[in-house]
């Protein structure tokens, strides 16, 4: 888990998109599909904690496609209690 309680991969992908704002302007960002081979390759790199691999990714659709397969822990989805 990352500092926010979300999966570290999710935090890295969000930061990647934040550092590449032009990717957020791409039409159909979260709708267009990508090559399954490319998706497998990026997942293998991320699972191996090779986050520098992202610096060579030029397809914003590939980054966006990873969001759909990340599982959020139930704790991260629970509401904040009033005591916090």
pLDDT in single tens digits along all 84 residues of the chain: 778 888 888 889 999 999 999 999 999 998 988 999 999 999 999 889 999 998 899 999 999 998 878 765 555 444 444 444
C-alpha to C-alpha distance for 77 and 16, rounded to whole angstroms: 22
Q: Global pTM? A: 0.71
pLDDT at 74: 52
The angle at the Cα of 62, spanning 56 to 67, to the nearest 5 degrees, equals 120
C-alpha to C-alpha distance for 18 and 34, rounded to whole angstroms: 21
Contact 39, 65 (CB under 8 A): yes
Contact 7, 73 (CB under 8 A): yes
Residue 11: closest CA among 39, 43, 51: 51
pLDDT at 1: 77
Query: Using CA of residue 32, residue 20, residue 9, residue 11, what is the dihedral sign?
Result: negative
pLDDT at 84: 45
């Amino acid at each position: 888990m990352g500092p926010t309680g979300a999966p570290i991969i999710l935090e890295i992908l969000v930061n990647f998109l934040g550092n590449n704002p032009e990717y957020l302007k791409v039409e159909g960002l979260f709708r267009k599909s990508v090559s399954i081979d490319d998706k497998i390759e990026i997942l293998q790199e991320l699972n191996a904690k090779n986050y520098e691999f992202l610096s060579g990714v030029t397809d914003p659709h590939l980054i966006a496609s990873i969001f759909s397969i990340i599982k959020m822990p139930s704790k991260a989805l629970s509401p904040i209690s009033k005591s916090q």
